[in-house]
Structure 1
Amino acid sequence: MSKPFILGLTGSIGMGKSAVAGMLRELGVPVFDADAAVHELQGPDGACLAPIERAFPGTTGALGVDRQKLGAAVFGHPDKLKLLESIVHPEVAEMRRTFLADNAEAPLIVFDIPLLYEKTGQHGLDAVAVVSAPGPIQRERVLARPGMSIEKFEKILALQVPDGEKRARADFVIDTGVQVGETRAQIDALVAHLRENGPWPPPK
């Protein structure tokens, strides 16, 4: 039995990655959401709750991890962030292995990884698709979010690999700066291509 083709899906803040992941699911593509996995692990009864409380006392409660308190505990402390990652990352990897096993017969699987280029890398992926849109559209989307400010947006951008570099490094680019129907057509074509032919030639 041939193994599934594994596509990494990533993109900077405000680029529409979640919407693209939803469109992929509508086409029957199994999508593993790394952020959702972390939320589950840090939620009520999550596997990471007790070890996080031991490492960072007072940062958890009945509803799971208090993300503001935990963020304050690790922000600006690389050693503490590394400790947190050593707790969370192995658990995410185990959930990913289970997801792969559960979908072993699918021709195509997508790993939704927000910080693919910043942190996790491309290990275990057959190709990477970057979700992208022009800068002014990205800015408009992000600043429309509740609680967002220009300063916060710029700080987030400074921590992310620039969109142009992501596009250059990706095997596929999905443009969300166009009409939704056009984006959906790109995804339809990409899924059909990967299910039938594998990664090359990449339709950039």
Structure 2
Amino acid sequence: MLSVGLTGGIGAGKSEAVRLLAGRGAVVVDSDRIAREVVEPGTPGLAAVVAEFGSGVLAPDGSLDRARLGGIVFADEERRRALNAIMHPLVARRSAELQAAAPPGAVVVHDVPLLAENGLAGRYDAVVVVDASERTRRARLLSTRGMTGQDADARMAAQASRAERLAIADFVLDNDGSLADLERQVSALWEKLIEMGTAGQARDQS
């Protein structure tokens, strides 16, 4: 089994790269989806969040009001660290469970938006960074997500820098171009990941 961490700045096209890898047979572990799962109503995760931040972060139906919680932690680094201290162990545990359930020889791609920010590169056999220029990313956020320029700049500034992400990359997918360009790169990457996984299996069996 090969464990791959995949990340990219907001607007870089990470989700598209993950979709293309899944289409080639990758087992995808989506950290954002897991982060929602571990704080669903009735979970210990939601109870821990409420204990830390108060019942004001709950919606009327008892679910987590993500917008309200985001408003708290986005503006306060200390409160963001408190939330991360709750969420990171829960997400890591569930991610490990999903990886363990993957079939032998699988290429498991962990879709982790904040991989660089949280210093997680060492957890994976390889790190893939989906890269695009700030100009391209900003344009995408304005056109496809309906953000204002101010919102786009704030979201980009809150993440690791482009240089910080590239510094941890074993493989880089350049997504400044067309979807066809990205598909060609993903096909080449997939061949390399299969080779790495096969070589790893051979070492384990020797």
**TM-score, normalized by length of structure 2?**
0.85
Q: CA deviation at 1:105?
A: 0.9
Structure 2 residue aligned with 1:128: 127
Structure 2 letter corresponding to 1:184? E
For residues 79 and 93 of structure 2, the distance between their equivalents in structure 1, rounded to whole angstroms, comes to 22
Distance, in Å, in 2 between the alignment partners of 1:14 and 1:199 is 33
Mapping for residues 104-123 of structure 1, pairs under 5 Å: 104-123=103-122
CA distance in 1, matches of 2:8, 2:181: 18
Q: Any conservation in 1 of the 2:116–2:164 contact (CA below 8 Å)?
A: no
Unaligned runs of 5+ in 1: none
In the alignment, what sits opposite 1:59? 57
Partner-residue secondary structure (3-state), 1:130: strand
Whole-angstrom CA distance in 1 between matches of 2:145 and 2:173: 26
> Is contact 1:46–1:64 with CA below 8 Å preserved after alignment?
no
Structure 2 match to 1:74: 73
CA distance in 2, matches of 1:167, 1:146: 25
Cα distance, 1:135 vs structure 2 = 3.2
Are 1:50 and 2:82 matched, yes or no? no
Change beyond 3 A, Cα 1:162–1:78 = closer
- In structure 2, what is the Cα distance between the partners aligned to 1:167 and 1:79? 27
Spell out, residue by residue over 1:82-137, the C-alpha distance to the aligned partner (whole angstroms, 9 max, x if none): 22112211110110111111015133111111111111421221111110123332
Which residue of the partner structure matches residue 35 of structure 2?
38
Q: Which residue of 2 aligns with 1:6?
A: 3
Question: 1:101–1:51: structure 2 CA closer, same or farther, 3 Å change rule?
Answer: same
Partner amino acid for 1:178? Answer: G
Contact 1:43–1:63 (8 Å) recurs in 2: no
Letter in 1 for 2:17: V
> Normalised by the size of structure 1, how large is the TM-score?
0.86
Q: Secondary structure at the match of 1:65?
A: coil
**Residue 115 of structure 1: SS of its match in structure 2?**
coil
Q: What is the letter of the counterpart of residue 42 of structure 1?
A: V
Q: Give the superposed CA RMSD.
A: 2.2
> Does 185-194 or 140-149 show the bigger shift?
140-149
1:181 lines up with 2:183 in the alignment: no
Higher helix share: 2
- In structure 2, stretches of 5+ residues that fail to align are 200-206
Task: Tell me how many residue pairs correspond in the alignment.
Answer: 197
- Letter of the aligned partner of 1:30 in structure 2? V
In structure 1, what is the equivalent of residue 93 of structure 2?
Answer: 94
Q: What residue in structure 2 maps to residue 21 of structure 1?
A: 18
Distance 1:45 1:188, change over 3 A: farther
Aligned partner of 1:153 in structure 2 is 152
CA distance in 2, matches of 1:199, 1:134: 33
Contact residue 130 and residue 173 of structure 1 kept, 8 A: yes
